[in-house]
Amino acid sequence: MYLLEVFLCSKITQAIAGKVIATHHLAAHHLNSEHLTCHRLASKDQKAVDLDHLNHYQDVVTYLYFSYVLLDPKPMLRALDFKKLRRQVNISAKSWNIIKEKHPLKTLIGQDRALQAFEFGIGNKSRGFNIYVSGYPGSGKRAAINHFLEEKAKGEISPGDWCYVNNFKEAYYPKKLGLQKGGALVFKNEIAKLIEEAQIALLKAFDSKEYANKRQEIFDEFQQKEISLFQDIYQKASSNNFAISRTPIEIRVIPIDDAGNPISDKTFRKLSKKKQEKIIQTRDMLMMEFNALLRQNRELDKERKEAVIQLENDVALYAIESLLEELKGKYKKNHEVIEHLEDVKNDIIENLGEFLKVSNHKNRITSAPTHRFLEYEINIITDNSDTRGAPIVMELNPTYNNLFGKVEHESDMGTLLTNFTLIRGGALHRANGGYLIIPLRELLLNYFAWDGLKRALQNNEVVIEDASERFGFLSTKSLKPDPIPLNVKIILLGSPRLYYLLYNWDEDFKELFKVKAEFDVSMDYSVANAMDFASVIFKIQNENNLLPLDHKAISHLVEQSCRIAKDQNKISIRFGELSDILHEAHHYAQLESRNQITSDEIAKTIEAKYYRSNLIQEKIIDLIDRNTLMIELEGSKIGQINGISVLDLGDFMFGHPNKITVNVASGKDGLIDIERESKLGGRLHTKGVLILSGYLGEKYGQNKIISLFASLVFEQSYSEIEGDSASSAELYAILSSLSQLPIKQWIAVSGSVNQKGEIQPVGAINEKIEGFFEVCRHRGFNGKQGVMIPKGNMDHLMLKHEVVQAVEEGKFHVWAISTIDEGIELLTGIPAGKRLKNGSFSKNSVHYLVDKRIEALNKILSKSSNEKK
Where b means 16+ CB within 10 Å and e means fewer, 402-421 reads bbbbbbebeeeeeeeebbbb
Q: Which of 181, 175, 484, 158 is nearest to 337 (CA)?
A: 175
Taking the CA atoms of residue 821, residue 822, residue 828 and residue 832 in that order, the dihedral angle to the nearest 10 degrees is: 40
Pairing of strands 406-407, 423-424: antiparallel
Residue 277, H or E segment? helix 273-330
727-739 and 820-828 helices, crossing angle to 10°: 60
Q: Across-strand partners of 132?
A: 492, 516
**Could you tell me if 668 and 706 are in contact, meaning their C-beta atoms sit under 8 angstroms apart?**
no
What CA–CA distance (Å, rounded) separates 617 from 653? 9
Measured CA to CA in angstroms, residue 306 lies from 179, 224, 293, 403 at distances of 39, 17, 20, 51
CB hemisphere CA count around 551 (13 angstroms)? 11
Rounded to 10°, the helix 141-154/112-123 angle is: 40
- Measured between alpha carbons, how far is 90 from 104 in angstroms, rounded to an integer? 21
Nearest to 833 by CA among 60, 13, 22: 60
Catalytically active residues are: 725, 768
- For residue 58, give the H/E element and its range: helix 51-64
What number of other Cβ atoms are within 10 A of residue 691's Cβ?
A: 19
828 exposure class (CB count in 10 Å sphere: 0-12, 13-18, 19+): buried
How long is the chain?
869
Amino acid sitting at position 206:
F
Q: Give just the sign of the alpha carbon dihedral 405, 411, 416, 418.
A: negative
**3 state SS of 526:** coil
- For residue 662, give the nearest of 685, 682, 689, 644 by alpha carbon: 689
**φ, ψ for residue 378, nearest 5 deg:** -115, 120
Query: Residue 772 in contact with residue 644, Cβ under 8 Å?
Result: yes
Buried b / exposed e across 737-746, counting CB within 10 Å, b at 16+?
bbbbbbbbbb
The long-range contacts involving 303-310, CB below 8 angstroms and separated by at least 24 positions, are: 303/222, 304/218, 304/219, 304/222, 307/218, 307/222, 308/215, 308/218, 308/219
Rounded to whole angstroms, how far apart are CA atoms 84 and 310?
101
The secondary structure of residue 572, as a DSSP letter, is E
What residues pair up with 435 in beta bridges, in sequence order? Answer: 392, 489
Cβ partners under 8 Å of residue 677, min gap 6: none
For residue 713, the cross-strand partners are 661
Please give the helix or strand (H or E) that residue 348 lies within, else none.
helix 335-350
